[in-house]
């Protein structure tokens, strides 16, 4: 049997996808201790692998081909990868629609690894050598593990996340006037998966009254969540959206008493850091991509709808997100705080 010397892992998803893929990345390293293992992904989210010594090289994938110049950059990077002659390519990324089927199929074909392993394709013929059937009952962490194990095993014995920080340093998290505090993440890559921003403001008010300051977080692309200059913010709330890098976000979340976030990378980051987190789900699939470690995590999901789960790029109504009440999220947050944070009777009286 030919020895596997070069492996390429491919996933061009966001921060949450990178976090959920880490156990599978580590499993591949354990199974191929002498191989070179490279990872192809988006430059920002891929930084969660910065301290993962199991990967030989992090290869940034150019932004989506929105114009001819970017298209040439994508093709040049794929041609470069083709020349490396990988023995195996593991496509961790799910095939969610016809567009991703076309795009990922072209990627696999151009790179032309000796063997490609990915998921069963329901939008056309399979374009990988080994297509692992999807199991609707499994979490995304386990689905990626089934690809890493070539369909032979889907159990995840450990969620060994390798995050790019050492010890939380509150001095570097911004000018937080009062602690303890909660982190609120009202953004998300897909705008139609964002709970209404005014609901997060209401949560901030309630948390402040209950004794917790609030810190709003998000990346630079999410600054449009609050287009004004923090109108309506509680006096003890801070808007740090677009003002922290990944390392700073890790430190902020690690030191927080609670995180409330949309179905997003921030939710998965809090879960990986073992911080109590409430995930708000509308059109997404909470069974598939909810917090994997459920001990300190809770999900507030919308009512069942015929269009759920939805992987479309836009939604005009956003009925699923609008149907989730502030009270339902608030009551879930209180339960987490009481059971995992405020066990002392004096502190329980706040709630």
* pTM exceeding the 0.75 threshold for the entire prediction: yes
In which residue are the tokens 């399979």 written? 126
Q: What pLDDT shows up at residue 241?
A: 92
Helix (H) or strand (E) segment spanning residue 258: strand 258-262
Task: Please report whether residue 140 resides in a domain.
Answer: yes
Q: Pick the more confident residue, 349 or 42.
A: 42
CATH number, residue 127? 3.40.50.2000
**CB atoms inside a 10 Å sphere around CB 313:** 10
Task: Please report whether residue 295 resides in a domain.
Answer: yes
Sign of CA dihedral 19, 21, 24, 25: negative
Supply the range of the domain harboring residue 204.
170-348
Q: Are residues 203 and 327 in the same domain?
A: yes
Task: Please report whether residue 180 resides in a domain.
Answer: yes
**Structural contact between residues 282 and 302, judged by C-beta atoms closer than 8 angstroms:** yes
When divided into structural domains, the chain yields a total of 2
Q: Are residues 193 and 130 in the same domain?
A: no
Partnered with residue 300 across adjacent β-strands are: 280
- Find how far residue 166's CA is from the centre of its chain: 20
Joined tokens for residue 218 = 């998000």
Q: What pLDDT shows up at residue 52?
A: 87
pLDDT (tens digit, 9 = 90+) per residue, 297-314?
999 998 877 777 777 667
**CB atoms inside a 10 Å sphere around CB 294:** 11
Domain boundary among 118, 148, 178: 148
Q: Are residues 314 and 210 in the same domain?
A: yes
Task: Please report whether residue 335 resides in a domain.
Answer: yes
CA distance 56 to 52: 9
Task: Please report whether residue 1 resides in a domain.
Answer: no
pLDDT (tens digit, 9 = 90+) per residue, 140-185?
999 999 999 999 866 776 556 666 555 455 544 444 444 789 999 9
- Tell me what the mean pLDDT of segment 84-89 comes to: 97
Q: Are residues 328 and 188 in the same domain?
A: yes
């Amino acid at each position: 049997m030919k020895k596997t010397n070069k492996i390429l892992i491919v996933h061009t998803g966001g921060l949450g996808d990178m976090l959920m893929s880490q156990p599978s990345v580590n499993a591949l390293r354990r199974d191929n201790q002498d191989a070179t293992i490279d990872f192809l992904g988006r430059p920002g989210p891929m930084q969660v692998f910065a301290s993962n010594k199991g990967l030989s090289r992090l290869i940034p994938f150019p932004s989506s081909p929105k114009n001819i110049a970017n298209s040439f950059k994508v093709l040049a990077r794929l041609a470069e990868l083709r020349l490396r002659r990988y023995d195996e390519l593991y496509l961790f990324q799910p095939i969610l629609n016809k567009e991703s089927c076309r795009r990922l199929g072209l990627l696999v074909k151009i790179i032309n690894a000796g063997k490609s392993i990915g998921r069963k394709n329901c939008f056309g013929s399979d374009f990988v050598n080994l297509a692992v059937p999807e199991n609707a009952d499994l979490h995304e962490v386990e689905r990626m593990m089934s690809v890493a194990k070539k369909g032979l095993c889907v159990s995840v014995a450990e969620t060994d996340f390798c995050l790019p920080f050492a010890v939380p340093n509150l001095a570097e998290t911004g000018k937080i006037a009062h602690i303890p505090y909660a982190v609120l993440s009202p953004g998300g890559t897909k705008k139609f998966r964002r709970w209404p921003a005014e609901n997060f403001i209401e949560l901030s008010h309630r948390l402040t009254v209950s004794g917790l300051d609030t810190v709003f977080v998000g990346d630079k692309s999410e600054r449009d969540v609050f287009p004004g200059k923090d109108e309506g913010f509680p006096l003890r709330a801070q808007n740090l959206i677009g003002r922290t890098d990944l390392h700073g976000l890790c430190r902020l979340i690690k030191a927080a008493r609670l995180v409330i976030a949309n179905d997003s990378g921030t939710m998965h980051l809090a879960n990986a850091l073992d911080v109590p987190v409430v995930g708000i789900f509308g059109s997404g699939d909470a069974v598939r991509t909810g917090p994997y470690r459920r001990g300190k995590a809770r999900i507030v999901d919308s009512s069942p709808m015929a269009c759920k789960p939805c992987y479309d790029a836009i939604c005009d109504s956003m009925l699923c997100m609008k149907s989730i009440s502030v009270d339902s999220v608030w009551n879930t947050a209180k339960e987490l705080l009481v059971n995992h944070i405020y066990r002392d009777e004096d502190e329980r009286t706040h709630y």
